[in-house]
Amino acid sequence: MKNQVQLITYVDRLGGGGLPQLRQLLAGQGPLAGLFGGVHLLPFFHPIDGADAGFDPIDHTRVDPRLGDWEDVRALSAELDVMADVIVNHISADSPQFLDYAEKGESSPHAGLFLTLDAVFPDGVTEKQLLKVYRPRPGLPLTTATLRNGEKRILWSTFTPQQLDIDVQHPQGRAYLDGILQRLAASGVRMIRLDAAGYAIKKAGESCFMMPETFAFIAEFSARARALGLEVLVEIHAYYQRQIEIARQVDWVYDFALPPLVLHAFAFGTAGPLMRWIGMRPTNALTVLDTHDGIGIIDIGADAADRQGSPGLVPPEELDALVERIHAASGGQSRQATGAAASNLDLYQVNCSFFDAMGRDERRYLLARALQFFLPGVPQVYYVGLLAGLNDMALLERSGVGRDINRHHYAPEEIEAQCQRPVVRQLLALIRLRNSHPAFNGRFEAEALGGTGLRLRWQAPGASALLELDFASLVHTLRFEQDHAPAQELQLG
């Protein structure tokens, strides 16, 4: 993976077109041309508009024809490093495999693909065992299906009834996932993101989330991907120590603790929890402030699965206060999109654009981006965040899906207009500096400046980059130096 800023985007929501139009936007002419070293294409499989915005594929090996085809993916990959999702945990209830299973039952060649309740609990299940299963959403992870012959089966469905869990340990589940890997590798994709991998393994009497068996599956599946030349990013929202553990076994993890810690630092005028995290965080991380999902709260909270009470990175009362401050900063909009207020809810996330979560304060927002770019790892910027986007309340009202508040559709003319805003122009300049300055290939140092500030420095032969930031006063120094060139010092906001 290149040590340059990456973009995260839906193919059809940035420019309103398909893969050829996105390629022109990112590698042709215009304000975003040549800006990124890579692009994570959020699900572009058939269909992109199912029950969960493409995360419930009917056919994971087919590009949605409204976006293009695999040759278009290959053409884009010739210009940029392309990352694609492998949705390891589930498949659509409208998939040909499930329709065949619903028609033929156990005589279907796909019967072993779908995880049933009795496959996990062959000796029966108790209420206590079911309640021990870790849940990202309310309710039980089960859906009752009636087959064509009248037989009823209880199927595992971690997220929604339309997303039926795969038995990844069954030969049919393994063959299904291997077919996806082969299709992606053959089309020029260089990196994959394992979506919902933490839920992939189920075991009777356990939490069915991030167990030792889950780690073993992730390691084994990653090895199969690497054998095809694919780097692996694992997507896990969990207690922060889990990220540290999983980072030892895979190529890349997300730094999901960073977004809430940055918000906490600005909200409380303190660098303490953030500096503590900088001292322990994995460096094989993709740094993010925003993604297509919400702002993770679980990632800095106490370990809910530990009865002994492993503490989080911030005290519980401050975590609760942070959520309320996000709601206040967004004028109450995030509250309308979070928890029981919206469908597709997640108990551990706040749905809001990051710019709105910071109260649309341009200086704070740009300082947050500078901090993201200075931390070791590869930065990813979500397409809404790239344009300092606002909450899309109209889309939220139409869909009723909480995450849609931060999934705006940008027409080409809107992109041009947004790129003229001073906050976006400064962000694009920061991205270009992060991509091109040689200091970021050198040695990193971090130190606290009292209780309210920090200093981040990169040094390489003949080059250095410095960020000093006080979260209470917003006084900052941002300086880039290189031999035989005048120093560049920026004031943000």
341 has a pLDDT exceeding 70: no
348 has a pLDDT exceeding 80: no
pLDDT at 308: 62
Q: Which pLDDT band, with edges at 50, 70 and 90, does 288 fall under?
A: very high
pLDDT at 451: 94
Output the CA torsion sign for 308, 312, 315, 316. negative
Q: Calculate the CA 363 to chain-centre distance.
A: 25
Question: 445: exposed, middle or buried (C-beta count within 10 Å: 0-12, 13-18, 19+)?
Answer: exposed
Q: What is the rounded average pLDDT for all residues in the chain? A: 94
CB-based contact 266:368 (threshold 8 Å):
yes
61 in helix, strand or coil?
A: strand
- Which residues have a catalytic role annotated? 195, 235
Average pLDDT of span 58-64: 97
* Strand 285-287 relative to strand 295-296, pairing: unpaired
Q: What are phi and psi of 117, to 5 degrees?
A: -60, -40
Q: Which pLDDT band, with edges at 50, 70 and 90, does 58 fall under?
A: very high
Give the Cα separation of 2 and 326 in Å (integer): 33
Q: How many CB atoms lie within 10 A of CB 367?
A: 24
345 has a pLDDT exceeding 60: no
Give the Cα separation of 237 and 255 in Å (integer): 10
pTM: 0.95
> Token pair for residue 255?
């730094």
User: For residue 257, what is the enclosing H or E element?
Assistant: none
344 has a pLDDT exceeding 60: no
Average pLDDT of span 174-178: 97
